[in-house]
Amino acid sequence: MPPRPAEPVPDPVDEAEMLQLSAALTEAGITPAADDLAAVQRLASLDAQTVAVVQGWLRKKGKPETPATGPSK
């Protein structure tokens, strides 16, 4: 039986981008569920420019309006 391939070592840049994407989702009022983490990891593995664009989209979205907070700015 051939040896099992080693698990890939996460890229520290991707790890940082994953945290930034998760923060951007949270700022937009979206709490990533456990099932969403795989998608966030895949997005974080894209090039830095693409990750930055996705973060920008989320930040433009802003938090949803609630009676306590009023419209997002």
CA distance 41 to 43: 5
**What is the pLDDT, as a whole number, of residue 8?**
59
The answer to whether residue 71 is domain-embedded is no
Q: How many domains does the chain have?
A: 1
- Asked if residue 1 belongs to a domain, the reply is no
Give Rg (Cα) of the chain. 16
What is the model's pLDDT at position 3?
73
Residue 48 inside a domain? The answer is: yes
Chain centre distance of CA 38: 10
Distance from C-alpha of 36 to C-alpha of 51, rounded to nearest angstrom: 16
Q: Residue 32 is part of which domain span?
A: 12-57
* Within-domain flag for 5: no
pLDDT single digits (tens) 36-60: 888 998 999 999 899 999 999 988 8
Q: Is 51 within a domain? A: yes
Whether 18 contacts 41, CB under 8 Å:
yes
**Which pLDDT score, from 0 to 100, does residue 53 have?**
93
How far apart CA 67 and CA 45 sit, in angstroms, is 37
Question: Model confidence over 4-40: pLDDT tens digits?
Answer: 766 655 577 788 999 999 999 988 888 888 888 889 9
